[in-house]
Amino acid sequence: MAEAYQPALRTTTVFILMFGVGSVLIDLGRPIGCSMHPICSFYFSFTVGRLQHHDVPHGEFHLPLSRLDSGYCSAQGSGGRREWFYRILSFGYTGAEAQHRRLDKAIGAMSILVIPVMITVHTVVSFVFAMTIQPLWHSAIFGPYFVVGAIFSGVASVIVVMAILRKAYHLESYIKPIHFNNIGIFLMAMTLLWFYFTFAENITIVYGNEPVHMAIFWSKISGKFAPLFWLHFTMCFVIPLPILAIRKYRTIRGTVIASISIVLGMWLERFVIIVPTLTRQRLPVEQAFYIPTWVEWSILAGCISLFMLLYTLFTKVFPIVPIWEIREGREKAVAAVSERIKSYLPEQDTLDK
C-alpha cells in the first residue's frame, strides 16, 4: 500500500524537518545565556540533544530522496540555471542499477530507523512533565500519550499542507482525492486512539480521587478552564470523527476541515495540560489565571511565519512530489501490486479441485 501514500512522503519529511527544527530552537530561547547558567545547563543539553536525535535522522532520511530527484533533474537538463546545484546534490548519481539498489537499501534502513527515533524523542519530551511531581503531570501514561498526540497532530498538519500545495502549485494530477481518503482513514484511527488515551488518563485520576489532583481535574471539567477543555475535546474528537468515519464526507474538503480542527484542538490540549497545573500550586496562595501576552502571541505567529517561509523556499528549489517514486510507480507498481494480490489468493489448481 506504500504507493497510495507516495505524494505525501516528501511533504511529510520536509514538514517534520522545517517545523521540528524551528519550534525546538524557538522553544530554547536564549541558548548562549542559558548554557552558561548552571540551573539551565541541563535543559540546554536536553534540548540540543533532542534537536540532534530528532531532526538529524529525518535529514539523513531525506538526503537519499533528494539525491535521486537531483540526479533526475540534472540528467534531464530540467534544472535550468540551477542545474549545477542539482548536479552537486546528486553526489554523482546517474541512475545506474547498482546505485539504485544501494539507495533503496539506505532508504529502507532509514525508514525503519526514524520510527524508534520518533517514539524516543516524543517520549523524552513527555518526561519533561512526567518526571516532576506536579499534579496531573507525574504519570506513566504521558510517554505514549505524547507519542500518539504527536502522530495525531502531525498527520493532520500534513493533510492541511498537502491541500495548500495541491491548490497553489496545481498538483491535482499528483495529489488526488484517493490520497486524502487513505490518510483520512489513518487519521480516523488516530482520533480513536487519542480518545482512548485521554479517557484512560482522566478515568485514572477520578479513580485515585487525590484531593490535589481532583482540584485541577474539576477546574478543567467544570471550573474556569472548562470552556477550553471542552472546546479542545470537541475539536479533537467530536468534529473530526464523524467526518472521517463516513465515506461520503471523507473528501478533500472534509479531511482538511477535520485536520484544521485537530491542529487547533491539539494546541488547546497543550494549553489545558500545562496551565491548570501551574496555576494551582500546593502552597495556600491565591490562585492565578494565565493569559498569553502579546509577546507570546508574536512568538507563535513568528514561528508559523518562519516555517511557511522556509517551506515555500524549499518548494521553489526541490520538487515537492518525489519524481523518482512517481516514475518508479508507473513502471513497477502495477506489476508489484498484481503479484502481491496473487500471493494472497489460493493457487488456481487448488480452486479446480
- Alpha-carbon distance 57 to 121, whole Å? 11
CA dist., res. 79 & res. 97, Å (int): 23
pLDDT score of 265: 95
In angstroms, the CA 134 to CA 281 distance is 8
Torsion angle, CA of 219/224/228/229, rounded to 10 degrees? 20
Q: Which of 25-39, 121-135, 249-263 has the lowest mean pLDDT?
A: 25-39
CA distances from 277 to 22, 137, 343 (A): 27, 8, 54
Q: Which residues contact 210 (CB under 8 A, 6 or more apart)?
A: 135
Which tens digits make up the pLDDT trace of 13-67? 555 655 655 566 666 555 544 544 544 544 455 555 555 445 554 554 455 556 5
Grid coordinates standing for 136?
A: 496531573
Give the pLDDT confidence score for residue 47 in this predicted structure: 52
Residues 165 and 183: their CA atoms lie apart, in Å, by: 16
**% of the chain beyond a pLDDT of 90:** 22
Calpha distance 165→182 (Å, rounded): 18
Torsion angle of C-alpha atoms 215, 216, 220, 222, degrees rounded to 10: 10
Neighbouring CB atoms inside 10 A of 155's CB total: 20
Nearest Cα neighbor of 213 from 272, 276, 268 is 276
Which one, of 66, 62, 69, lies nearest residue 21 by Cα? 62
Which residue's entry shows cell 500550586? Answer: 281
* Cell representation of residue 29: 530561547
Kindly tell me if the per-residue pLDDT of 70 is higher than 60. Answer: no
Q: Are the beta carbons of 209 and 253 closer than 8 angstroms?
A: no
Q: Which residue has the cell 487525590?
A: 210
- Give the residue with greater pLDDT, 315 vs 272: 272
pLDDT of residue 186: 93
Q: What is the pLDDT of residue 235?
A: 95
Which strand (E) or helix (H) includes residue 165?
helix 142-168
- Check whether 242 has a pLDDT greater than 80: yes
The residue among 170 and 353 whose pLDDT is bigger is: 170
Q: Residue 145's pLDDT is what?
A: 92
d(CA 82, CA 77): 10
In the predicted structure, residue 96 carries a pLDDT above the cut 50:
yes
pLDDT band at 5 (very low <50, low <70, confident <90, very high): very low
Q: What pLDDT does 123 receive?
A: 85
The mean pLDDT value for 280-308 works out to 75
In degrees rounded to 5, what are phi and psi of residue 143?
-60, -65
Q: What is the model's pLDDT at position 39?
A: 46
287 pLDDT more than 80: no
The whole-angstrom separation of Cα 244 and Cα 248 is: 9
- 212, pLDDT greater than 70: yes
Q: Which amino acid type is present at position 261?
A: S
pLDDT recorded at residue 255: 95
**Cβ(252)–Cβ(180) below 8 Å:** yes
| HSE (side-chain half, CA atoms, 13 Å) at 119 | 5
